[in-house]
Amino acid sequence: MEKLIRTFARSEDGAVTVDWVVLTAAIVGLGLAVILSVASGASDMATGVGGHLNDGKVTTTY
């Protein structure tokens, strides 16, 4: 049992997993921040374009 505990304590296999989990969480967080900031600007732009399109007049007589 003591040998098993020593082997477990010296093993570094889990350290790589923790690094990948932290790196993945950082990438996901950065992606969400970018999406939220772009979505707000895109919504404002779409509202402006929609307003211009609704103000336009189309003649239907020839």
Is this structure's pTM higher than 0.75?
no
Domain ranges of the chain: 13-50
Given the structure tokens 């374009």, which residue do they identify? Answer: 49
Q: How many CA atoms lie within 13 A of 44 on its CB side?
A: 5
Q: How many CB atoms lie within 10 A of CB 12?
A: 6
Q: What is the pLDDT of residues 27-43, one digit of tens each?
A: 999 999 999 989 888 88
Q: What is the pLDDT of residues 16-26, one digit of tens each?
A: 788 899 999 99
